[in-house]
């Protein structure tokens, strides 16, 4: 089928060595068959004569001796002029087919000689015609197997074709150059072949036992032609023509998307690509359809030419089983991301064959089952669970680890363990991402607490302050925090993240609610609160600001703990300790203010507003302290893991 595609591409020069070999094999067969035909005629004349002795000649020509023996020993004379034998018609047709094969091979190397041979064969076909019931004239056999004194004969044609084939064979003698089978090369062709083969050999190991990448090279006129069989797919063909000022590539594939992928592998070179043309070939799968793309790379010397040829050779291994790998990856990520992952694996010289050899879909599925049975359900796509970037990164790691392990001879068990650990790492990073949301929330809590503290400081300094703006800003921040919390809870549920993270989110949200209440009360307190009341409230606000800062720094440090940074866990635990201190300080200040109010003769509005503001600030520090307890629990879980 590959030969048929190559012929359809008009690249028959690369087939010449194979055609010559086929022609010479056909020559051996036709000689053996003519000998069988002569033996049948002799047996018809003398059934008790010498036994069939052509078995070795048949075997050496690639023919089974059994049917030939049956034909000869079953030959009988019908009369003085005719012989009949079982299979005589088949034998006659095979003789004509062999001669046609020889003529086709000669035509590939010498068009004029091949045309003449084909015309002679057409004129001689009557010599091999067989009547019904496998009957042939004895005179026909004599003409087929002998050399006529005058005129042409099939035997003479066979001899002439054999001479042509021998000359072509001598002119296209096989040599192995850098792993390529080369024919009829000139000395100046060798660097180009060696450059292409350097590329092929640089990545050959990544096919991991898959058939393919055999290279054939021949010279035809002014053009050097390189053909690589890539893999086993029928219409998967690449033919490279090297000319003095350019290298052209003709590539065919039954998978249009893989053809596009091939062109992308050479994007670092300014290749002029044609469109992907849809073609058809009889006998090919998928309705006989394949796609053809051609590219031309203009060279400005041997260095640029050889660099391009080396890149082409290195890219071919990444096309083997490419569509199979793409289908596997599509089970876990979208189509475009699957192609992106395969492109990454090719550019980094890992490929995908090791991944397939080690189990492909089972490799990922077992990692999901063993590492995260409760967080990734059956049929869940990884991009929906890990996020798109993390899913791509994980699958890239799978391909890289698979290739590195097979190249190093590591066991499949170690590969699976490595992949499972990497999947767990990505899931941990989801928790870290959610902790990043907690940090944002704590920052919003600090904004409100700072605004309240600023208001109280301005009151102490007897300066005016826009209280309504304070309340409005706090309300806006609280609404923003609510939206963040709702989204974060949805993410926790979607990712199956540690539920402690959700409790952390809730605790900060509760603290923000209390601080928003404190901002509201600040907007309606009397204009001139007593100095001792303002001093106590200012201390409470300071504790709330410091508590929000400690919550933010503790969550940020905790997000880095799974990366194994001991200093980050120490920072997180220190922040948790500060949260407890600020909560105790706020408790003391709230009691002190309560004592001040109850021992003084403040009017009801002053007393009530002071107590409510103090309680709101103290409750905010309580919520932040609870946050600290939950963060401590989360940290211990991570560190124990």
Cα dihedral 521, 527, 530, 536 in deg (nearest 10): 30
pLDDT of res. 279 = 64
What distance in Å separates the CA atoms of residue 222 and residue 211, rounded to the nearest whole number? 32
Confidence at residue 614, expressed as pLDDT on a 0 to 100 scale: 95
Q: Tokens for 559, please give them.
A: 């997000």
Strands of the sheet with 135-137, listed across from one edge: 76-79, 82-84, 135-137
Rounded mean pLDDT, 119-148: 81
Quick one: pLDDT band at residue 212, thresholds 50, 70, 90?
confident
Average pLDDT in the 278-290 region?
59
Q: Which two tokens stand for residue 262?
A: 């091939």
**Which residue shows structure tokens 């008790």?**
48
Asked if pLDDT for residue 491 goes beyond 60, the answer is yes
Domains of the chain, residue spans: 12-171, 174-317, 324-410, 427-640
Under CATH, what is the fold of the domain 174-317? Answer: Gyrase A; domain 2 (3.30.1360)
Per-residue pLDDT of 73-83, as tens digits, reads 999 998 888 89
- Tens of pLDDT, residue by residue over 610-634, are 999 999 999 999 999 999 998 888 7
Distances (CA, A) of 5 to 103, 128, 237, 250, 343: 20, 32, 8, 11, 27
46: burial class by Cβ within 10 Å (0-12, 13-18, 19+)?
Answer: exposed
Q: Once rounded to an integer, what is the mean pLDDT over residues 37-57? A: 87
How many whole angstroms separate alpha carbon 545 and alpha carbon 591?
19
Calculate ∠ Cα 176-178-182, nearest 5°. 40
> Class of 427-640 per CATH?
mainly alpha
- In the chain, what percentage of residues exceed pLDDT 90? 46
Under 8 Å between Cβ of 252 and 279: yes
Scan for tokens 């197997």, then name that residue: 145
Say how far apart CA 89 and CA 100 lie, in whole Å. 17
Mean pLDDT, the chain, whole residue set: 85
Rounded mean pLDDT, 381-389? 75
Strand residue runs (E) in 511-636 = none
Please tell me the distance from the alpha carbon of residue 638 to that of residue 566, in angstroms, as a whole number: 12
What token pair was written down for 2? 């590959």
The pLDDT of residue 101:
93
- 296 — phi, psi (to 5°)? -125, 125
- Mean pLDDT, residues 310-332 taken together: 94
Containing 296, the helix (H) or strand (E) segment is strand 289-298
pLDDT, residue 523, reads 93
Write down the H helix ranges in 175-301. 190-203, 256-265
- Which of these ranges, 182-186, 393-397, 454-458, 551-555, has the smallest mean pLDDT? 182-186
**Phi, psi angle pair for 234, to nearest 5°:** -55, -55
More confident residue, 227 or 538: 538
**Distance separating alpha carbons of residues 236 and 228, to the nearest angstrom:** 10
Give the tokens for residue 62: 């690639």
Task: Enumerate the H helices of 299-387 as residue ranges.
Answer: 302-315, 322-329, 335-347, 353-357, 361-371, 382-386
Residue 131 sits at φ, ψ, to 5 deg, of -75, 175
pLDDT recorded at residue 433: 67
* Calpha distance 123→432 (Å, rounded): 85
Contact 27, 162 (CB under 8 A): yes
Q: Rounded mean pLDDT of 165-182?
A: 80
Cβ-based neighbour number of residue 139 at 10 Å: 11
Q: What angle do CA 636, 432, 386 make, to 5 degrees?
A: 120
The per-residue pLDDT for 66 is 93
pLDDT higher than threshold 80 for residue 331: yes
Beta strands 180-183 and 215-220: pairing type? parallel
Which pLDDT band holds residue 20 (cuts at 50, 70, 90)?
Answer: confident
Report the range out of 224-228, 269-273, 286-290, 415-419 with the highest average pLDDT. Answer: 269-273
Q: What is the mean pLDDT of residues 95-101?
A: 94
Rounded Cα distance between 498 and 504, Å, is 10
Instruction: Please identify which residue in the block is written with the tokens 């309580």.
Output: 622
pLDDT category of residue 173 using cuts at 50, 70 and 90? low
Cβ 114 vs Cβ 93: under 8 Å: no
pLDDT at position 390: 81
Residue that wins the pLDDT comparison between 293 and 200: 200
CA pair distance 26, 632, nearest whole angstrom = 84
Has residue 72 got a pLDDT over 90? yes
Q: What is the mean pLDDT of residues 477-484?
A: 92
Phi-psi region of 619 (alpha: psi -120 to 50; beta: other; left: phi over 0): alpha
pLDDT at 571 over 70: yes
CA distances from 218 to 193, 227, 245, 354, 355 (A): 10, 9, 18, 33, 35
Which has the closest alpha carbon to 558: 475, 446, 442? 442
Residue 171 has pLDDT above 80, yes or no: no
- At 521, the pLDDT band (50, 70, 90 cuts) reads very high
Work out the burial of residue 67: count CB atoms within 10 Å of its CB; fewer than 13 is exposed, 13-18 middle, 19 or more buried. Answer: middle
Give the confidence band of 1 by pLDDT, cuts at 50, 70, 90. Answer: very low
User: What are the φ/ψ torsions at residue 409 (nearest 5 degrees)?
Assistant: 75, 20
What is the per-residue pLDDT for 286?
A: 54
d(CA 615, CA 537): 10
Question: Do the domains at 174-317 and 427-640 have one common CATH topology?
Answer: no
């Amino acid at each position: 089928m590959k030969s048929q595609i190559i012929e359809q591409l008009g690249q028959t020069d690369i087939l010449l060595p194979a055609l010559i070999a086929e022609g010479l094999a056909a020559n051996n067969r036709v000689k053996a068959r003519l000998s069988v035909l002569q033996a049948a005629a002799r047996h018809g004349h003398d059934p008790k004569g010498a036994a069939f002795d052509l078995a070795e000649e048949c075997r050496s020509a690639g023919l089974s001796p059994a049917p030939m023996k049956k034909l000869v020993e079953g030959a009988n004379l019908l009369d003085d002029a005719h012989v009949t034998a079982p299979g005589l018609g088949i034998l006659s047709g095979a003789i004509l087919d062999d001669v046609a094969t020889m003529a086709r091979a000669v035509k590939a190397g010498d068009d004029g000689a091949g045309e003449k041979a084909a015309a002679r064969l057409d004129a001689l076909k009557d010599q091999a015609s067989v009547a019904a019931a496998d009957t042939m004239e004895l005179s026909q056999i004599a003409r087929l197997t002998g050399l006529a004194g005058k005129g042409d004969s099939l035997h003479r044609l066979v001899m002439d074709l054999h001479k042509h084939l021998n000359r072509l064979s001598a002119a296209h003698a096989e040599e192995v150059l850098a792993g390529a089978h080369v024919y009829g090369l000139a000395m100046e062709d060798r660097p180009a072949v060696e450059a292409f083969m350097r590329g092929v050999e640089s990545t050959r190991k990544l096919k991991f036992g898959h058939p393919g990448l055999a290279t054939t090279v021949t010279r035809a006129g002014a053009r050097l032609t390189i053909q690589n069989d890539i893999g086993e797919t029928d219409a998967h063909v690449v033919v490279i023509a090297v000319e003095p000022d350019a290298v052209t590539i003709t590539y065919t594939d039954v998978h249009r998307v893989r053809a596009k992928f091939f062109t992308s592998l050479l994007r670092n070179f300014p290749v002029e690509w044609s469109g992907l043309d849809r073609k058809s070939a009889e006998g090919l799968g998928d309705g006989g359809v394949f796609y053809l793309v051609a590219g031309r790379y203009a060279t400005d010397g041997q260095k640029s030419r050889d660099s391009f040829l080396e890149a082409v050779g290195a890219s071919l291994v990444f096309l083997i089983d490419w569509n199979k790998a793409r289908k596997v990856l599509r089970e876990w990520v979208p189509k475009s991301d699957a192609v992106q992952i395969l492109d990454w694996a090719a550019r980094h010289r890992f490929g995908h064959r090791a991944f397939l050899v080690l189990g492909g879909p089972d490799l990922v599925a077992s990692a999901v089952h063993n590492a995260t049975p409760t967080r990734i359900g059956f049929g869940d796509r990884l991009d929906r669970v890990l996020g798109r970037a993390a899913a791509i990164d994980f699958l890239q790691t799978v391909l890289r680890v698979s290739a590195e392990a097979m190249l190093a001879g590591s066991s499949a068990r170690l590969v699976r363990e490595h992949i499972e650990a990497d999947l767990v790492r990505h899931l941990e990073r989801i928790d870290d991402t959610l902790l990043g949301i907690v940090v944002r929330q704590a920052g919003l809590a600090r904004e409100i607490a700072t605004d309240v503290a600023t208001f109280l400081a301005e009151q102490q300094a007897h300066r005016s302050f826009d209280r309504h703006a304070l309340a409005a800003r706090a309300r806006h921040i609280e609404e923003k925090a609510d939206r963040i919390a709702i989204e974060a809870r949805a993410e926790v549920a979607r990712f199956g993240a540690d539920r402690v993270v959700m409790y952390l989110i809730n605790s900060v949200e509760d603290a923000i609610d209390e601080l928003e209440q404190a901002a509201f009360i600040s907007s309606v307190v009397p204009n001139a609160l007593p100095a001792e009341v303002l001093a106590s409230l200012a201390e409470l606000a300071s504790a709330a600001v410091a508590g929000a800062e400690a919550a933010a720094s503790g969550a940020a440090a905790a997000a880095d703990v799974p990366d194994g940074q001991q200093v980050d866990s120490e920072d997180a635990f220190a922040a948790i300790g500060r949260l407890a201190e600020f909560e105790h300080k706020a408790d003391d200040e709230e009691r002190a203010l309560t004592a001040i109010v109850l021992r003084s003769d403040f009017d009801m509005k002053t007393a009530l507003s002071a107590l409510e503001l103090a309680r709101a600030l103290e409750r905010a520090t309580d919520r932040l302290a609870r946050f600290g307890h939950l963060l401590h629990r989360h940290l211990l879980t991570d560190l124990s893991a």
